[in-house]
Structure 1
Amino acid sequence: MKLKKYLLFANIFIALVSCKGQPEYAFLPQSLKFDLTPFLFRNYTPLELATLSNSDYNQNESGLITGTKLSRYLSNWNTNKPSYVFGNLIVFQIQTSGASGRYVFFDGKQSFAYPVTNLNELLSETRDDGVLATDGIVGKGKKISDFFAIYGIDPAIDYVVFAGDTSNLANLSSATFAYYSLLYWGFPKERLAVLNGSIADLTTANTLFTTPSYTYANSNRAGSTKTLFRDHTSLHLTIGDLIHSIKNGTSNLEEVDPLPVEGYFLIDGRPNAAYSGTTNSTASGSKYSNCTTKTNASFVSNTCVTTYEGRVKSASNLIPTDLYDGTSFQFRSFTQLSTVLNNTGYPNQKLIYLYGEEGIRTSVVWFALHQILGKPTRFYEAGWKQYGALGLRSPSSGSSPSAITQPASYWRTDTSQLADAITSNADANVPNYQLDLSRQFIKSSNKIRTEDKSFLRGSTSSAGSGGGGGPTGGGGNACGG
C-alpha cells in the first residue's frame, strides 16, 4: 500500500517538474497511470474569462482582431503568432448564405482554413435544462469534441479564428456564437478570435490576401476539452439562477448560484419593440424542441410565438444594432461601445446577466460586453423564447393548452414579480408545449451544466451542483492557469 502511495507522489512530482518550459494547458495527466482529472479542474469566473480589448483593435492579439492582424498571422504564422501560442492557426470562413468566391491563403502545414456553411449546426443543439427544452444551445461535450476531430483542432495548443465570408448579421452572429461555444467548453480566450469585418470586404480593401480557389487540407489531429482542465460553465446562466436572483435569493429553487456579492445588472439584448412588449417574438424555424407538434388549424407552419410578450423584471435594454455598422457589420469603436453600455445605466463592476430572444443572435451582444468591453457577463442562452413560453393562460375552446397550467408552478414567469410589460399572444399562434406536472414543480433547472461538468471530468460523481459551477473560482491545474 505504501509503495502505491510513493509511486503516486513520484508521478505527480515528475509531471509538475515537466511543466517547466511547457506551454500553458499542454500538461496532459492522462499519460499518468492514475486518473487525476477530477482533481485538476479549476472553475473560472465570468470576470476571469472576460477580455478587455485595446481601444485600438489593431493591437489585439486575440478576442476581436482586425484584417491587418489576421493578414500578418497568415503571411507567416510561425514568425508572427503570439508568443504564448504553440500550435496551428485555424480559420473558419463562415458562409451562411452565398459565397464571396475568395479564400484566405494558408500553408496547409501550420495554418489551415475551412469554408463552412453550417457552423451553428455543428456547435449547437436542442438541450433540456429540466424545465423546457430549447434549441440553439451550445452543444454537449461530444458534439464539440466531434467538431475538433472534423477540423483537426487541438484545443490545448491551437489558435482559432472565426471570420464572416461576406458582411451580414447571420455570419457575424455565427462567428460570435462559435467563439462563445468554444470558450464555454474551456478553450482559453487567449487563443480565440473573431475577425472584425468580412473576408470579402477586407479583400476589396486590400487588407487580406485571398485567392479564387480553395484546396482542402487538414492537420489530421484533434484534442479534447478534457485535457484543458478548465471549467468555464459559470458563463451559462440558468432560468433558476435568474429567478432566484430576481426574488433576491428567497426562492425555493435548488442548485442555484448565490446572489453575486457585487450585485447583478440585467440586460435585455433585443430590439426595442420586443423589449417594450409591443411586438411578438415570431421567428422562422423551430423555436422550441416540440413547437411543430401544435395542431391548431390556424397555426402558421414554421412560426411559433411565446405565450406572452414583455421583458424580464427590471431589465435594461441594449439595442443590438447599436453595436455594429449595418453595412460592414464591423463592431463600432471601443469608445462607442462603452457609450452604448453606459446608456443602459450599468453600474461598473456589477455582474451582467444577459438574455435576448435566443442564444445565437444575442451572442453578438454577449461578445461586445464580455470580449470587447471586458465586463463580467453570464449568458441566459435560452432567452425570451423559454422565459416568455412559461406563462399561464386559459385557452379558448379548441386551442392548445398553456405550457404552465398550475398557477403556483415554480416556473411560471408571467407575474408582476418576474416580468414587465406583459402582453398575451393570441391563442392560435402559441404552440403546444404543455409541461407535465412534475416539470412544473421540479426545483432545479441545472441539468445542462451538470451534464457538462460530468463530461469534462469524465465522471457523473464529479459533476457537481449548480453552486460548484457558479461565479466563484478555485482549484487549479497542475501547470497553473
Structure 2
Amino acid sequence: MMQRFVMTRRSMLFSLAGLLLTTVLTLWGCGGGGGTSSYTDPNASITTTKTATALIEPATLKQWMDEGKVNNPDPATRDRVVLITPATAAQYAAQHIPGAQLLNSSTELNYNRLEGVTAINTMVMDGPSIDVLVKRFGINQNTTIVFVPSKGQNAMNSARAYFTFRYWGFPKERLKILNGGETAWETASTAGSWSASYALTATVPAITASTFSVKNLYNGSTTTNFNVRFSIGQMIDLVDKINAGTIKTDASGVAILDERGGFAATIPYIANAATYNNGTNTVLDSHANYYGTVTGSFKDTATLTAHLANFGVTASKSMNYVYCLSGMRASTAFFVLDGILGWPVTLYDGSWQQWNGYTSLATSPVTAAWRTNVNTSASVALNRSANGLTFTNTTYTESGNLAGISSGLAIDPVSNALYGSITDPRANQMLNEDKAYFTSGGTTTGGGGGGGTGSGC
C-alpha cells in the first residue's frame, strides 16, 4: 500500500514537473502569452532565424534554404524567409540567388515628397508604396526578410531597403543583410562544392501575394519606429541647439557623421558634423571602389568600431546622426550602427542635397528662417554650415564629380509663406502623413497567418 502511494506521488510530481516545463517553454516561445505577436514583442516568434546581428553569412542562408524556410508556402509558419534583391531590372534578370525577388533600386528606393518648404526626390517611401512591396513579396507577420546585395552593387541599396523597412515598423530582428551578397554567395558555393541548385539563376520565383499591411505593425501605443529618421526642420533645430550649447557633443552627447567622403578643405558641410577624407572608400563596407566593382561585404566589428570612433561616433553617444549626399550612402552607416553594432542612430535622409538647397542662393530661395547658409547669432559665429565663407556661391564641386549647391529644389510657395518656424509641427509633413497612415488600423493579420499563432504555439 505504502509502495503504491509512493509510486502514485512520484507520478504526480513528474506530471506536475512536465506541465510546468511545458508552460515555461510555451511562454518562452510565444512571448509570455497575453496574445503578443511577433511585432508587439519582436522576439516572441523568432526561433531558428535568430542571429547575433542583422548581418548574416552565406552558410546561414543556405541552411535556411535547406530547411525549407525560403518562400515557405505555409504563411502560418514562424520560420518563413523572403529574399529581396535591390538591383536594377537588368541585373536581376541576368542573375540572382534562387528564390530572390526584385526590389527595383532605380525606382523603388527614393520618392519625391514634400517636407519643410520644398519637395525633394530622395525621400523614404510613403505608406501605400511600402504596402505594395510588402504584399508583392508575400511578407506577413511571420516573415524574416533577407536583403541580398546584387552582384555589381555594394551594400548601399540593401542598407537603404533595411532602413526603409525599419522606418515602417519592422523590427530589426526580422531584417537581415547577406554579407557580400551574390558575390560572397558564389564564393561560398565554389568553396563548399554546393550543388547546381544553389547557383545564381534567371528564374523568377512564383510568390503568393500577402494581404499584410504595415498598419498591422502598429500596436496601439507607439510610433517610435519613425524616430530612426530626421526631417530638415529637426536637423536645422539640432544644429542650432548644438551651436547654442543646449545639446552637447561630449562623450555622452550627440554626434553627426557626414558620410560623403573625399573631402577637400573648401567643401562646406553641416555644422558640428565629423567629416573624413577617405577618397572613394567608405569607412564602413569593404567594397573596392564606391563607383566601380564592389563586393558588398562589411568590415569586422572591431574595425567598424575603431573607424567610427575616429569621427566621434561611439556606443556611449545618446544619439548618432548620419547623412551623406542623398541619404543613400548614409543608409550604410545606419545599418552598421543599428543592425550590426546596436548603437543609437538616426538617418537624416534629405541629406546634403536637401540641406544645400535651403539657402539664399537659389533662384527662388527659401524663407529666411529655413536658410542653412546663415549666421544665427548677431555676436558669435553660429553658422548652420561649416566652412561658411565658401558656402556663398555655386562654383565648388564635391569629389570632382558632384555639383555643390542645389538650385533646383521645388519651393512650395504655400509652405514657404506659411511656415516661418523650423519647429512648426505642420512643417514636418512626411512624419505627419506617415504616422496617420501607420496608425489608421490594419484590416488583416496578413496572408492567412493566423494572427501570429505559428509553429509551436
Contact 2:98/2:199 (8 A) holds in 1: yes
Counterpart-to-counterpart distance in 1, 2:131 and 2:101:
17
Q: Distance in 2 between matches of 1:368 and 1:122?
A: 22
- Counterpart in 2 of 1:368? 336
Give the AA of the match of 1:233. Answer: F
Q: Distance in 1 between matches of 2:323 and 2:436?
A: 25
DSSP 3-state at the match of 2:60: helix
Distance in 2 (alpha carbons) for counterparts of 1:85 and 1:383: 40
Paired residue total: 362
The Cα offsets for residues 363-400 of structure 1, whole Å up to 9 and x where unpaired, read as 1121112221221011110001111111113xxxxxx6
> What amino acid sits opposite 1:73 in the alignment?
W
Whether the 8 Å contact between 2:69 and 2:81 is mirrored in structure 1 is no
Task: Name stretches of at least 5 consecutive residues in structure 2 with no aligned partner.
Answer: 1-25, 44-48, 289-293, 376-381, 396-402, 442-451
2:263 to 256, 269, 273: 273
Q: Structure 1 pair 340/268, CA: closer, same or farther in 2 (3 Å)?
A: same
1:244 corresponds to 2:237: yes
Q: For residues 365 and 321 of structure 1, what CA distance do their matches in structure 2 show? A: 9
1:438 aligns with 2:417: yes
Q: How big is the shift at 1:101?
A: 4.3
Render the CA deviation track for 1:427-449: whole Å, top value 9, x for unaligned: 79853445645156244332111
2:126 to 140, 149, 161: 140
Match of 2:137 among 142, 145, 151: 151
Would you say 1:346 and 2:313 are equivalent positions?
Answer: yes
Task: Report the counterpart of residue 73 of structure 1 in structure 2.
Answer: 64
User: Distance in 2 between the 1:27 and 1:357 partners?
Assistant: 46
1:175 aligns to 2:142 (yes or no): no
Distance 2:32 2:181 in 1: 31
- TM-score, L = length of structure 1: 0.66
> Equivalents in 2 of 1:26, 1:124: separation in Å?
39
Q: Which amino acid aligns with 1:414?
A: N
Match of 2:112 among 126, 133, 143: 126
Match of residue 334 from structure 1: 301
Contact 1:167 1:198 in 2 (8 A): no
Q: Is the 8 A contact 2:357 2:408 kept in 1?
A: no
Query: Which of residues 382, 385, 401 is equivalent to 2:363?
Result: 401
Q: Aligned to 2:148, which of 163, 175, 180?
A: 163
Map 1:160-239; keep pairs closer than 5 Å. 160-169=145-154, 172-206=155-189, 209-229=198-218, 231=223, 232-239=225-232
Structure 1 residues 385, 440: CA separation in 2 closer, same or farther (over 3 Å shift)?
Answer: farther
**Is the alpha carbon distance of 1:425 and 1:210 closer, same or farther for their aligned partners in structure 2, counting shifts above 3 Å?**
farther
Q: Which of 314, 324, 329 is 2:272 aligned to?
A: 314
Deviation at 1:415, TM superposition (A): 2.3
Q: Closer, same or farther in 2 for the Cα pair 1:95/1:342, shift >3 Å?
A: same
Render the CA deviation track for 1:193-213: whole Å, top value 9, x for unaligned: 011112144214426722545
Letter in 2 for 1:329: G
* % same residue: 22
> Secondary structure of the residue that 2:328 maps to in structure 1?
helix
Q: Distance in 2 between matches of 1:25 and 1:100?
A: 45
**CA distance in 1: counterparts of 2:177 and 2:167, whole angstroms:** 15
- Which segments of 5 or more consecutive residues in structure 1 lack a partner in the other structure? 1-18, 30-40, 50-57, 107-112, 252-256, 279-309, 394-399, 460-477
Task: Name the CA shift for 1:24/1:142 in 2 (closer, same or farther; >3 Å).
Answer: farther
Distance verdict in 2 for CA 1:211–1:390, change over 3 Å: closer
Q: Kindly provide the CA deviation profile for residues 60-79 of structure 1, in whole angstroms up to 9, marking residues without a partner as x.
A: 45511111111111111459
CA offsets, 1:198-234, max 9 Å, x none?
Answer: 2144214426722545143113323111112252001
CA contact (8 A) 1:130 1:439 kept: no
User: How far 1:359 moved relative to its partner?
Assistant: 1.4
TM-score, length-scaled by structure 2: 0.69
Aligned with 1:380 (options 338, 344, 348)? 348
Is the contact between residue 183 and residue 295 of structure 2 (CA under 8 Å) also seen in structure 1? no
Give the distance between the partners of 2:371 and 2:94, measured in 1 at CA.
49
In structure 2, give the amino acid aligned to 1:235. Answer: V
CA drift at 1:166? 0.2
- Kept in 2, the 8 Å contact 1:323–1:337? The answer is yes
CA RMSD of aligned residues (A): 3.9
Looking at structure 1, the residues matched to 328 and 95 of structure 2 have their Cα atoms a distance apart, in angstroms, of 26
Q: CA deviation at 1:173?
A: 1.4
Aligned to 1:13: none
Does structure 2 conserve the Cα–Cα contact (< 8 Å) formed by 1:270 and 1:356?
yes
AA aligned to 2:439 is R
Corresponding residue for residue 34 of structure 1: none
Q: SS of 1:241's equivalent?
A: helix
Who wins on radius of gyration, i.e. which is larger? Answer: 2
Residue 93 of structure 1 is matched in structure 2 by 85
